[in-house]
Structures are given as C-alpha cells and as structure tokens.
Amino acid sequence: MKNKSARRMLYFSSFLFGVVFVYISVLVGCAYGEDCVSCNAPTFPEAQAFLAGKGYSEDGYTVLLAWNEAARYRRSVLVAGYHVLAKSGGATFDLYSDAAGNLLSTRELLALGVWPKDWSLPPIEQQEEIPPALAKAVAKRPIPVSTATAVGSAAAIVLPTVDVAALEMEDAEQSANPDPGKSARRVGIVRDLPAPIRLEGARATDGAWGTATDGSRVWAVTIESPGARAIRLRFTELKIPTGCRVIVYNSRNPVEAYGPFDRIHSGDKDLWSDSCFSDLVTVECTAGPGVSTDGLSITIENVVHTYKGFDELPWAKSAGTCNLDVTCYSDWAYTARGIGGFTFVSSPNQLHCTGTLIADSHPESSIAYFLTANHCVSVQDGTSGASSMEFYWLYQTSACDGTPPAMASVPRTSGGADLLTGVDSSVGSDFALVRLRNAPPTGLTYVGWTTTVPSVGTEVVAIHHPRGDFKRISFGRLSDAGSPQEGGQPVKPRDFFHESLWHLDPTEKSIGITESGSSGSPLMTADTHLIIGQLWGGYSSCTYQEEPDYFGRFDKTFPLVASWLGVLDSPLDVDASGAVNIADIQLVVNALLGMPILYNADVDSSGTVDATDLQLVIIAALGG
C-alpha cells in the first residue's frame, strides 16, 4: 500500500485509544448526498440488549453495526463485533465478545488475530486480476478398487423414494409469490440414513470387506436414493490411518470418483463429500497390503438428495426467458470467470447462491477470498453453513446461446470454506466473506472492487446464476425511484444498499433481471468492471421488469473486509512486510534488549515494549 507508514500511525492511534473518532454520517450517511439528519440510524435489539447487560445502556449508547468475524490465529473461533455510538460525546468505538458472551480486551483480540477497524479509510480502488490462459481440466480423479472385487456388487442401502412433485410444488408456490428477498434457491434436501453407517477398524455395520488383486483390503458400501440427480454424503467421523484411503464414486459410472477424504476439518463437526451425479453411490475404504486398520473410524449419517437436474433441458429452462447468456457479451468474458455458483447445506435443504472471487491488495498473492450474501452463508457449521460450500466454476455456454455443459464436467472446488466476516441484512449490507479451503482452478479471474460511491444513473452490470442455472448477465443503472410494489419506497435503505433498475430494450423486453439463486452475485460498474455490491434481493423478474433490485453496498462492507483484503497491516506485523514472521519476532526482541529499531514494537500499545508484545508476535507468527 502507498503511504503505509502514515496509515500505520492512524491504525495504531485508533487502536491505542479504543475509539475511532468519526461522525455518524461516515457510517450511516445517506447515499447520493442526502441530508443525514433525516436518516434512520440502524438499531440491533439483540446486540443492544447484550451490551446493556455489560454496562452500555440503551440510554447512553446505540449499536450502529453488528457483525461476526473469524479469529486469524484461532481457526474456528468466531467473535461478535459491535460498532457503538456514545450518545453523550458523539464518538464511536468498537467492542467485541466471544461465544460465551465475554467482552474481549485489546490483548485478547490481538492474541486471536482480530484487528481494529478503520472506519475512515479514504476511497480505494483495486483492479481485477486478469488470469493466465484458462485451464478447464477437472482435477485428476481417484480410481476405485472395489469395482473389481466382490464387494463392488454388495447389496445397496436403499432410501425411500422422494416425493419430488411435492417439493417442486413448494418451489413453484415460493416463486409465484412476489418476495423482495432473492432467497437462496433450493436444489436438494437432506435425508437421514435408516441408521448411521459405521466402520470401526475391521468391523462394519453395513457393506462388506474384500481383497483386491494386489493384496489390499477393501471395504465398500453402496447407497441409493432413487431418482436423485446427485448425492452428497455427510461424514460425522473420519479418522483414516496412514496407508488407508477413502473415496466416493458413482456406482453407475465409476470414472466419476472423488477424494480421497482423510479427515474432518479442524473445528468442524462433519465433512460433506463432493456431489456425485448419480442416484447410486459407493463409499470405498482401501487398506494397502499389510496395513493395519486399527484406528480406522468412519461414520456416515446423512445424504443430500439433489432433485434439480442442473444439465437437463427442463432445468435449463427454469430461469426466466428474459435472462441473457453471459457468453454473448465478450467484453465481460474475463470478469465472468470470477463469478461462480455454489451449493451449501442449510438443513433440511441444500440451497444454491452466487458469489465472486475477489481480488486482494497483494499482487503476489491469489488467496481465494469469495464475496457473497450473508443470507446465503452466515455461520460456519457444516450442517448449515460455510463448511458445506461446494463451488461450481465456468458453468456457462461455450458459444452465445449455446447448450450449457453437464454439471459433472465443470471444475468444482469442494471441502468447504472458512467464514471470515459478515453482516446480516436486517440493517447492514448483507455480505459474507469466506476463504476457500481448497484452491480453485487456475485461470479464474479475481474481480476488482471500489469503495467510491457511484451516483444515481451510473450504468451497472450483474453476473449471476439465476435459479442455479448457467451463467447470465444483466444490464441496468443505479436508481433512486424505489419499488412500484412498495409505492415508490425503497425496499432496502440506501444507507446500506444500491438500488438497480434493469434496462428495457426498444421492444420493452428486459435486458436481464435476477432470480432466486442469484443471491450474492456482484454488482459492478459497467465501465470499470469493479464490484460495488452484492445481491440481496428485490422484486425484479421477467414478470416484474420495472422493479429494481438491491445490492449491499461494498463501501459499507469495506471496513470489515479491509484487513482480509490486505489494505490494513496487522499491528503485529512490526516491519509492515505483509506477514507476521520471524523478522517481527526479532525486532521485538531487539527492542526488549534496548537496541534501537525503526519500527513500533509496542504492538499492544501498552506504552512499553514488554514480554506480552513478544508473546503476541510469537503466537501470530506460529498461528498465522
């Protein structure tokens, strides 16, 4: 970053005093230059009540914003943040609490890797990262062994038939009722197995053991969910000794195989397998010749039954006919590579949303940060959150208005994601920032962003997966006319949301809209291709073409994501190198020994460099 030393001085100053002296208009200032005296300040009743119990009464303090944030140095730990206004003095400050409801001190926050926020950053712009030549190849898949042994023909666990007609009737009723929230699109349901499948050492409740030609021991169990377009399995226990391998494959087409799966991610309760595009799947565990199965432990409790066929013609037609194929607009080809669809489990359903790989400010890095809507992903838990995310890339036609590819053929990233930070849609900008746990394919674009607030009338573009369908594009402009269905009132406040009205062509046909499943998709300025928001919702559809949509404003999101995107340096990054490492430890040691250094080694701003500063930097260097 340019002018890094000046920024660090501001950063440490705000951290030292525990307050950020900005006027309320900086946070909740009305868009487009309106007089903020008339703006309604946000309120968060639950957060307000919680802080009242900690001595911050509603009479003296107002919660302006509440969010969740991951601890960098204690993965799986989420803290709650509160941006608070002191009514008497007009100053704002931030408080944090842990899951037990304890307010956290400055030192505790630093030890966790939670950095103070700078709510007064000037407008910043980050250009998109144009990828090298696109690599379309799907990752190399494992080769099943059980297909060549007796266990490959073992009897399947067969689940009852799903009443798909009833599910589709529910979906149709939801689509028929105008709802401003572009909800996540349901594409599957979670089903319980008749009884959990357990494998402990050589003992199994289901399936069978056999011997491969090379002497390996092979256990396999087959699960059928009749009529499923795809199946995902939920492992609630997964301990795999060295020399053993667990995979999942399509029993009807074993070439489609996924894995190996070797552990449940630290802090998670479960692990969801990749979607296997079949109604019959096999779980296989192989122990190499002479390998002991002591310590082997597998439990499978649930499956996701995907009942929406992504690559079939009726499903392809499910998105409204006024949607535009993104491939027809070559100017957007590079940017479109960064937008992906994803499914996630929110029991009892599997849902679909859209999001964007977003560029950070370090040119040498390509960390897979992904921006989407908070109403899609708001928790970490694999049964209903980020841990269950499965990302689909390049689900789009190869030629304008062509046939979309089969879903099993497009690149995917499984393994879930880590929820970094997010704000609810009730008053905030409805965003979630996650980091993929596994690397996405090469050749994808990391889309740029800007915190400059564009004016009414600015031409904008959205790229999205309506109803989980192949990728589409919409053209419009920022508006302030409000929603016709709401009597001209905006559906969401302009304090936190952009309003976009989609264009009509000369024949009064909409030039794109958004639908359920489009949630989380980026809104970008047409001339720069930079993100200015992500989709919350709106009434727009092929039926309601005159209705606007609403996108959470990225400039309001930005203070909460700035440190993740590399705009702010950690107080523990003593030499401002971009990473907390051995060099920072050495600088603190030098300061403790009385040696002169050019940096601030008092990382906790206590007024002196002491053992606590050294401890905090060591924790960060080891855990970060």
> Which helix (H) or strand (E) is 618 found in, with range?
helix 611-623
Helices 611-623 & 582-592 angle (0-180, nearest 10)? 170
- Domains in the chain: boundaries: 1-120, 124-569, 570-624
pLDDT along the chain (624 residues), means of 10: 36 33 32 33 80 93 92 84 89 92 91 88 89 60 82 79 92 73 86 97 93 92 95 96 96 93 88 95 95 96 86 44 92 96 91 95 84 94 85 95 89 94 89 95 93 96 94 96 94 95 78 89 97 96 91 96 84 77 86 82 80 82 70
- pLDDT of amino acid 382: 67
> Which helix (H) or strand (E) is 301 found in, with range?
strand 297-306
Q: Where are the beta strands (DSSP E) in 495-622?
A: 497-502, 522-525, 531-538, 549-553
Answer whether the bond into residue 548 is a cis peptide, omega within 30°: no
Judge whether 254 and 322 are in contact, CB under 8 Å: no
Straight-line distance from the first to the last Cα atom of the chain, in angstroms, rounded to the nearest whole number: 20
Counting Cα atoms < 13 Å in the Cβ hemisphere of 219 gives 20
Place of tokens 């494998």: 199
Tokens of 595: 């040696």
Encode 123-162: b = buried (16+ Cβ within 10 Å), e = exposed.
Answer: ebebebbebeebeeeeeeebebbbbebebbebebbebeeb
Judge whether 420 and 367 are in contact, CB under 8 Å: no
- pLDDT of amino acid 273: 96
DSSP string, 64-80: EEEEEEE-TTSTT-EEE
Interstrand relation of 324-325 and 244-250 (parallel, antiparallel or unpaired): unpaired
CA distances from 262 to 43, 205, 238, 244, 464 (A): 45, 20, 7, 9, 33
- Nearest to 183, CA basis, from 394, 453, 374: 374
SS3 589: helix
Cα radius of gyration rounded to whole Å, the chain: 26
Q: CATH fold of 570-624, please?
A: Type 1 dockerin domain (1.10.1330)
- Nearest to 468, CA basis, from 349, 353, 346: 353
- Distance (Å, whole) CA 178 – CA 546: 13
Name the architecture of domain 124-569: Beta Barrel (2.40)
Tokens of 245: 């391998």
Judge whether 617 and 577 are in contact, CB under 8 Å: no
- Distance (Å, whole) CA 65 – CA 79: 14
